[in-house]
Structure 1
Amino acid sequence: MGPGKRSAYVAVTVVCAVTVLATAGTAFASPTPPPAPSSTSPTPSSTSSAPSTPVPNKDLEAVREKLDTLYHEAAVATDSYNAAEEKAQQQSAAIVDLANKIVQGQKKLDELKKRAGAAAAAQYRNGGLPDEAHLLLSDNPQQFLDGAGRVLQGQRATRGLIAEMTQTQQDLEQYAADASTQWKRLEANRKAKDAARKKIKARIAAAEKLESKLAKEEKRRLAELEEEAAYQAQTSWLSSGILDEINGKASAQGKKAVSFATAQMGKPYEWGAEGPKTYDCSGLTSQAWLSAGDPIPRTSQEQWRQLKHIDVKDMRPGDLIIYFDDASHVGMYIGDGAIVHAPRPGRTVTIAGAGSMPILGVVRPDA
C-alpha cells in the first residue's frame, strides 16, 4: 500500500465518499505518478496551413506558478471579504439591539417623568408647608406623626425616582453613543468588503485571461503540471512516514462533519459562498461543522486563530488542515492521508492529498 498504514476510518458515511476513497487509496496513501507532461503538441490536421509552435514546458510552468499566485491572492482577499461580511452582520445586529434598548429606555424615562410629575403635584397640593407647621396646625398629633412617616417614605421614593430617571437618561446617552460607534464600524467593514470584492474579481479575471490565451493542448499539459506539483508535494509529505503515526478515530460530531462535507463533492467553488449550491473553502468547513451541531468561525484565518491546535500526527477525521503561512486555505481531513476541500474558482469540491499544499497546522473544532 505504500508508505504509512491505511487509516481505519476511511469508510465515511456517504456512499460517494466511500467510492472515491476506495479508489483513492493509491492516490493519497501511495500516490501513482501522473503521466509526464507532453513536450510536443499533437500533430496538426491536414487542413492546417502551418503547425502551431508548442509552448515550452518551462513557460507553462511559469504560467502555472502565476496562476497559483493569482488564485492565492484571490483566496486571501476572499478571507478578508468573508471576515468583513461576518463583522458587518454582527454590527447590524448590535445596532438593531441598541435601537430596541433606546426605544424601551425612552418609554421607561417617559413613565418615570409621569411619576415624578405626579409626586410634584401631590407636594403642591399639600401646600409645601414644613413639618413643624403641620404639627402646630394639626388637631391630632398622632395622625400628624403617622402622616409624617408617609411623607418621609414619599420623599425617599422621590429621591429614588430621581436617581432612576438620571440613570435611565445616562443609559440612553450610552446606547446612542454605542450605536454611533457600531455604525461607523459597519461602514468601515462595508468599505473593506467592497475593496476585497474588487481585488477578488481582479485576480480571478487576470487568471482567467491568462488561461484563455492557452490552446486546448496547452491547457491539458498545464493540468498535468498541476497534478504533478500536487503529486510531488503529497509524496514528500508521505515519505516522512506520517501515516504510520496518524491513527485517530473520528468523534461522533467529526463523522457528521465529514459526511456533510463529502456529500457536497462536485459542487462548484464560489468565493464568499457557504452553500447549499456553491462553497468557498471555509464556507464548506464552517457549514460542515454547523451541520454537526458545533458552529465554528467563518474564515480559515479565524478558524486557525480560535480553534484548538493539534499536532499533525494526532489529527483525526473531521479535523481541519490549515494551509499556507497566511492561513488562506482550509480542508477537512477525512482519513487515509486525504482531505475534502473547495479548491479555487473553476474547480469543484473534491478530495485531494492532505500534503498536496503547504500545511500550516491542524485545528480541532470539537476539542
Structure 2
Amino acid sequence: MRAARLIRMALLLQSSPGLTAAALARELDVSERTVIRDAQALQEAGVPVRSERGRAGGYHLAPGHRTRLTTLHPTEAETLYLSGLPAALRDLGLSDAADTARLKLSATLLPSLRAAAESSVRRFHLDAPAWFREPSAPELLPELARAVWADRTVELAYARPARDGAPPRTVTRPLEPYGLVLKAGVWYVVGRVPGERPDRDGAWRTYRVDRVTALRPAPGADEPFVRDPSFDLAAHWQAHSAGFARALLRTTVTVRLTERGLRGLPGVADPAGVGDALARAPAPDAAGRVTLDLPVESEDVAFAQLVGLGADAEVLAPEGLRARFREHAQTLTSVYGAEPDQR
C-alpha cells in the first residue's frame, strides 16, 4: 500500500513540480504529516525530492531527474484496458481515436503485458445502459462534446417535460459546459451559468442531453471560457446527483400499500423518493398496510409506476390521480369481466 503511494507521489512530482504538502495530501488521500514522511522515504531511496519555501515553493524533483517508475505492472495494463466504455466512446464520436490509442499502447507494451491487457478484454465487458432500454445517442451529443473539449460557451434549447398539468415547454439557456456524465444509459451535461460565481447557488446546472433540442455558440462568446481550476466533475456529480434526483421529484402522492406492495415499491419507483417515504412511514395498520407520502416526478409518472403493483397499492391522494386509477380499474373490469370473444 505504501509502496504504491510512494510511486504515485514520485510520478505526481515529475508531472506537476511544485505541489505543496496540502495538494499532495489531497491527491494521495493522506495527511500532510504522512506526505512529509513519504518525501523523506523517497529521499532515503535515492529519489532526489526537495522541499522549497515561498510563493513558488512546494515539492520538486532535482532538475533533469526523471523517475523510472512508468513501466506498467500486468494488473495496471489490465485495468487500463477496462477504463473505457465502447458505447460511450462511440456516442461521443471517439471510438476511432480510442481504437488507435489502444493499438499504439499495445505496440509499446512488453509481450507479457500485451497478453495481460488482451486477456482483460476477453474477460470483462462494461455495459452502461439500464435493462429494458434501447440505447441511443442523443443527436446533439457529439457537438456538445466538442464544446466541452474546446471550453466554448453555448446557448442550448432545452425541452422541459410536462409536470403537474403544466404543458411541456422549451427554454433557452446559456451554459459553460464543463463535462458530460453517462448515468444508466442517459447522458447529462454539467455546466456553469456564465458570469455566476462557482460558489453561488444555482451557478451549476445539469441537463439531460436527450432533451437538448438545439445548440449553437453563445452570442458574443468568441473566446473559450476560463475554467474554474478547482472544479472536479466526478466529485461534483457524486455530491449533487442525489440532490439532482430529488429535485426531479416535484409531486407527492399518498399511497396505501400491502406488505407485498411495500416489497415491490423499490422496484418500480425512484429510489430517492422511496427512501424518503420509508424514512417517514408510520407503523402498519391492523391489516398490515402502510400509508406513505411518496415523492414522484409527476402524476403521469406515478400512474405508470404504481399501476404495476395492482391491488397492492391504493392511491389515496391527489384525487385526480385516484380517479385515474378508478377509471383504469373499470376499464380492466369491462375487458376481463366477460369471456373472450371467440369469433
TM-score by length of 1: 0.19
The structure where strand makes up a greater share of residues is 2
